[in-house]
């Protein structure tokens, strides 16, 4: 059996709370976001896993989430690699805008297409497919080899960068990934086979009961 890959979406950020398009902007966690990250860390501590390496984006909300998780699992000094390949989807001209204001400017239907289509990017930004196009090569060259080498790898990142990974791991269609919403601060524990496919998946502390 190969190693273990744990994916965690960062806790609520200040801009999530304010209903703003965030993308590559860099707000920190809210008080609730800190609670969510701590809860994810406690769930991993109870699960009993110890990590060999962690990966995160260059954005503070993901790094703060990772720090809180590592504090909770008793590994505050774990080697950590930060790379913008794991950043959130870049919302381009929408970044920093209130979602209701964006709808007023461009129309409900157009904003919905940008948010929920697979391959239509907002002006100056990335589609979900574009996000995957930078996440997947990084995963294949940097993260996956370590998991296949038997290591336990933690990735704290963002809704869309992680959706890109889950799409591959769970073999989701374009339609399937568009319907996927990842809970904040909830660890997804993947055990991989030697051929890099998924042997098992557990969602820790998921209140929805969905696996």
Angle, alpha carbons 111-165-141 (nearest 5°): 125
Describe the strand order of the beta sheet including 80-82 as a list of residue ranges.
80-82, 53-56, 152-157, 4-9, 188-192, 198-203
Residue 44's SS3 state is: helix
Active site residues: 10, 88
CA neighbours closer than 13 Å in the CB half-sphere of residue 48: 0
**157 and 12 in contact (C-beta within 8 Å)?**
no
CA atoms within 13 Å, Cβ hemisphere of 133: 8
Rounded-to-5 percentages of helix, strand, coil across the chain: 45, 15, 40
């Amino acid at each position: 059996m190969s190693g273990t890959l744990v994916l965690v979406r960062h806790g609520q950020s200040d801009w999530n709370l304010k209903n703003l398009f965030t993308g590559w902007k860099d707000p920190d966690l809210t008080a609730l976001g800190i609670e969510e990250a701590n809860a994810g860390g406690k769930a991993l501590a109870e699960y009993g896993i110890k990590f060999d390496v962690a990966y995160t984006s260059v954005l503070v909300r993901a790094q703060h989430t990772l720090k809180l998780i590592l504090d909770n699992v008793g590994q505050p000094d774990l080697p950590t690699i930060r790379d913008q390949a794991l950043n959130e989807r870049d919302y381009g001209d929408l970044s920093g805008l209130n979602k209701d204001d964006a709808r007023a400017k461009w129309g409900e239907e157009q904003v919905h297409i940008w948010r929920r289509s697979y391959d239509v990017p907002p002006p100056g930004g990335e589609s979900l497919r574009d996000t995957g196009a930078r996440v997947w090569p990084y995963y294949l060259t940097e993260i996956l080899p370590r998991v296949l080498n038997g290591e336990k790898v933690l990735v704290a990142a963002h809704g869309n960068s992680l959706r890109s990974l889950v799409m591959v791991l769970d073999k989701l269609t374009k339609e399937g990934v568009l319907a996927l919403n990842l809970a904040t601060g909830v660890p997804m524990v993947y055990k991989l086979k030697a051929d890099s496919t998924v042997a098992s998946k557990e969602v820790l502390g998921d209140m929805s009961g969905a696996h």
